A and B are shown apart, each in its own frame.
Chain A
Amino acid sequence: MDRPKIPLNLILARLAADAEQAKQRLEKAKDILLGPLDTDIGTTPYELVYQEDRVSLKYYRPAEVRCKTPLLLVHGLFNRETLLDLQPDRSIVQNLLKAGLEVYLVSWGAPSRRDQFFTLDDHINGYLDNIVDFIRGRHQVPKVNLMGVCLGGTFGVIYAALYPEKVRNLVTIATPIQFDTPKGLLHIWLKEIDVDRLVDAFGNLPGNLVNTAFLLLNPPRLLLDKYIGLLENMDNKEFVENFIRMEKWIFDSPDVPGETVRQMLKDLYQGNRLVHNEMELGGRRVKLGTITMPLLNIYGRYDHLVPPEACEVLTKAAGTRDSQDICLDSGHIGIYVGAQFQREVVPTLVAWLGERDS
């Protein structure tokens, strides 16, 4: 049996060429890394208009207001809101401002141990409802547009189900509703976790643990290939800046209040109660059928964190007749910072909201 011959001379020739290229790249990379780099995140100017405990509200004013109803962005508790304004050329916030929308962004702050007893009820019936009331009062409008991202979208869905009279349009991005799916690794893992012991031991769910869990979702890409990509593009200043911005965001997961985690994991990831209309919050049953406002549901086909199976059920379960699904050829993070979202989806989203503004 003939074994294939290894073309050693070709490999060596390539290695020599690569070595020359690597040397040139390193020389340029040295200048870039030692020179000034713009790696700030969340740089779009805003005004802090509301503060309650650690929770605050950022207001972004467009140059020209073209939409009557202000838009409230809600992200999850597991990451920072800066994802929505990560880099200047791919910022959801900036693109919405360019389209003439008044944007509000919730910042959940940095929960410390003293926040461990704050429940999901406190976050949704408390902070979120107070914020919505504040915006309604500030703009003298009966309803706001609500856009939720990831688990912030789940918050938005729960809020819209409890307070349909305060939400004009609901937009969900990569929002899990169906938690009983074997497609998402987090859904598989979290089913078996002893939530009570976890919360009792740590008080709050440590951000570092959350980071580690996210990295474990795809170690070859997130722990290896990503950094090889950096080495290959070290001579590209823009690439390096954006890479560091993303690194800053990824490794900046805040701790999550323990009691909130307890209910989220038990009711959602383990009990899957939301989709079955069995979840209760502040003594009230959350019924998806009460979501009667227009609904736009966006998710990624290759999202390994929140798979399509976890998202697409929403439009079927909601009580609205005006709903639309948009499935992008994207992963989880790619939805927010990917070129496709900025180029195609944001204009679609703005037009969709514009049509339903009155």
Chain B
Amino acid sequence: MTQEQPRTTGAEPLLAAWIKWTMEFWEAMAHMGPGPIMAEIDGDLCLEAAGPGEAWLPFLNLWQAFFSLLTEPDTVAAVFQGIRAPSEMVLRMAQAGWEGYFQLHRQWLEGWESDGILNPDDFEDLDQDIAKICSDLYEKDFRRLLQMPHLRLTGLTQECLNQATEKFNRFQAAMAEFTHMLYLPVKKSLRAMRGVGGRGRQERPPEDFKEYYRGWLKVLEGHYMTLFQSTEFVQTLVHTLLALQEFSAAKDALMAEVMEALALPSRRDLDALYREMYGLKKSMKDLAKKLDSLAPATEPG
């Protein structure tokens, strides 16, 4: 066979086969079903006994006529012959959908490859960079899903909820990175203590565990002090705090929506009230002070 096969995505024959099989199944069902059903319908269709169900009669007649027509083999063949034409349209539509999905999937994979996520070399430092990798993965892919614009039809709350979820995820990612950074001195100090006494491999190991512990603690403290003064740590700390602040703000916005929906005062409302109270209290205190300072002068005599 030398006939050239058309280039397909691989999903097309599968889908075509499925639609064809579905049609054959329902065609066979249409041939099998109607006999006994119709007999039963005929048996129940006693007009005199129907009484109050008289109004249903035209519908039942229509139903009977439709099924009678449907059970005729020729009709069935004609109907399904008719359906076969639109089925090609359905097939094309489904094919476009499949292709879209595959394209999206391919874009993701390509994105990961270009970002270096799937670079095998990167996995050598997986332990060290796992938090960062997860964070990058989230930032570049999943986050975009939560940031998709919303139709007003779904309401603002949905958008707020997505924002809060998104900010929570970012905070978690930042926190994971921060926690991992805090763990680094422990790892380094343990590595340093792999040599005996924490001062080199050639030394005799201390017989006293406490001495060993004290040595390790000193090394650990040193590593922490170095870490805490580093630019990397300060940047990670600032980033984590920022993520926490953003999550807190997004959570407040969501809560404000919910409170508004429940006709309850939100934190924003209370803050505005507190600000007013603060201003009033301050004015009142200033006035009281001024009155106190005026009091002796206004006293008679």
Contacts and interface: CB of A to CB of B under 8 A. Distances in A.
Contacts of B203: 4
A163 interface: no
A202 B217 contact: no
A21 to B, nearest CB: 12
A133 to B, nearest CB: 10
A11 B238 contact: no
Contact of A220 (B202, B224, B235, B275): B224
Q: Is the interface of B mostly helix, strand, loop or mixed?
A: helix
Contacts of A219: 182, 224
Contact of A126 (B205, B271, B285): B285
A117 B241 CA distance: 22
B229 A14 contact: no
A182 interface: yes
Contact of A7 (B207, B220, B237, B281): B207
Interface string A195-206: 001101111000
Contacts of B248: 201-202
B242 A216 contact: no
A194 interface: yes
B229 A202 contact: no
Contacts of A11: 207, 209
Contacts of B246: 201
B271 A118 contact: no
Contacts of B205: 4, 6-7
Interface stretch (A58-66, A147-155, A184-192, A233-241): A184-192
B270 interface: yes
Contacts of A3: 201
Interface in A168-198: 182, 185, 188-189, 192-194, 197-198
Interface string B181-201: 010000000000000100001
Given A7-B207, A182-B229, A202-B245, A116 B271 contact: yes
A200 B205 CA distance: 54
Interface in A259-304: none
B271 A113 contact: yes
A185 B229 contact: yes
A4 B196 contact: yes
A188 B112 CA distance: 37
A114 interface: yes
A10 B207 contact: yes
Contacts of B224: 218-220
B234 A189 contact: yes
Q: What are the 3 A-B residue pairs with the smallest beta carbon separation, nearest first?
A: A201-B245, A117-B278, A114-B274
